[in-house]
Amino acid sequence: WQKVLYERQPFPDNYVDQRFLEELRKNVHARRYRYRAVVFQSGAVVQQLCSVCVFVLTWWYMAAGALSPQGLFAAALASSLLGYVLFDAVDGGAGRWASGRTRWADLKSTLVFAAFTYGFSPVLKTLTESISTDTIYAMSALMLLGHLIFFDYGANAAIVSSTLSLNMAIFASVCLASRLPRSLHAFVMVTFAMQIFALWPMLQKKLKAQTPRCYVGVTVLFALAALAGLATVSSVGAVLFASLLLAISCLCPYCLIRLQLLKDNIHGPWDEAEIKEDLSRFL
- Is residue 282 part of the contact set for other proteins (CB under 8 A)? yes
Q: With binding defined as CB under 8 A, does residue 134 bind other proteins?
A: no
Question: Any contact of residue 277 with other proteins (CB under 8 A)?
Answer: yes
Site membership for other proteins, residue 21 (CB under 8 A): yes
Choosing from 10, 12, 31, 32, the residue that interacts with other proteins (CB under 8 A) is 12
Q: What is the DSSP string of the chain?
A: --S-SSS--SS-TT---TTTTTT-EE-TTPPPP-HHHHHHHHHHHHHHHHHHHHHHHHHHHHHHTSS-HHHHHHHHHHHHHHHHHHHHHHTTTHHHHHHT--HHHHHHHHHHHHHHHHHHHHHHHHHTTTS-HHHHHHHHHHHHHHHHHHS--S---TT--HHHHHHHHHHHHHHHHTTSSSHHHHHHHHHHHHIIIIIHHHHHHHHHHH-HHHHHHHHHHHHHHHHHHHHHH-HHHHHHHHHHHHIIIIIHHHHHHHHHHT---EE-TTSPPP--S-GGGG-
Report if residue 13 touches other proteins, rule: CB under 8 A.
yes
* Given 10, 14, 31, 100, the residue binding other proteins (CB under 8 A): 14
CB of 26 to other proteins, least distance (A): 10
Nearer to other proteins, 6 or 104 (CB): 6
Least distance in angstroms from the C-beta of 262 to other proteins: 15
CB of 274 to other proteins, least distance (A): 8
Chosen residue from 64, 157, 236, 275 binding other proteins by CB under 8 A: 275
Q: Does 20 bind other proteins (CB under 8 A)?
A: yes
Can residue 6 be called a binding residue for other proteins (CB under 8 A)? Answer: yes
Residues that bind other proteins (CB under 8 A): 3-6, 8, 12-14, 16, 20-21, 23-24, 265-277, 279, 282-283
